[in-house]
C-alpha cells in the first residue's frame, strides 16, 4: 500500500443531494448532501444550479433535489437501513 485517505460522507436522509436555494435562509444556495456520489453527480447538477442562479429558472431535473423537501424542524433523520446495502446486488 502506497497511500490511503479517508473522509466523511455528507449523507442526506433520502440519499439524494440538496441542490438549490432554501426558504429557511434567504440568499443561501447549496449543493451538498451528495451521499457519496458527489464526484459523479456534482458536475452536472451544479451546472443546472448555475443556470438557475443566472436565469432564475429552475430546471425540472432539480426539483427532486430541493433542499426544502425536508421539514426545517427536523434536525436529524436517521436512515432506516445500512448505507452500503444499496450497493449490493438485488
Ligand X SMILES: Cc1cc2nc3c(=O)[nH]c(=O)nc-3n(C[C@H](O)[C@H](O)[C@H](O)COP(=O)(O)OP(=O)(O)OC[C@H]3O[C@@H](n4cnc5c(N)ncnc54)[C@H](O)[C@@H]3O)c2cc1C
Q: Which residues of the chain form contacts with ligand X (CB under 6 A)?
A: 6-7, 9, 32, 34, 36-40, 42
Please, what is the minimum distance in Å from the beta carbon of residue 9 to ligand X? 6
- Give the SS3 label for residue 56: coil
Q: How far is CA 69 from the centre of its chain?
A: 11
Please, what is the minimum distance in Å from the beta carbon of residue 3 to ligand X? 13
The CA distances from residue 58 to 10, 49, 55, 89, in Å, are 24, 8, 8, 35
Please, what is the minimum distance in Å from the beta carbon of residue 36 to ligand X? 5
- Specify the residue, 54 or 87, whose C-beta has the smaller distance to ligand X: 87
Amino acid at each position: 500500500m502506497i497511500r490511503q485517505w479517508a473522509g466523511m460522507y455528507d449523507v442526506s436522509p433520502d440519499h439524494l443531494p440538496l441542490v438549490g436555494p432554501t426558504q429557511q435562509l434567504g440568499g443561501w444556495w447549496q449543493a451538498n448532501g451528495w451521499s457519496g456520489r458527489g464526484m459523479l453527480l456534482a458536475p452536472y447538477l451544479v451546472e443546472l444550479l448555475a443556470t438557475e442562479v443566472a436565469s432564475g429558472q429552475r430546471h425540472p431535473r432539480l426539483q427532486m433535489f430541493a433542499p426544502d423537501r425536508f421539514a426545517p424542524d427536523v434536525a436529524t433523520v436517521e436512515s432506516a437501513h445500512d448505507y452500503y446495502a444499496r450497493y449490493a446486488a438485488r
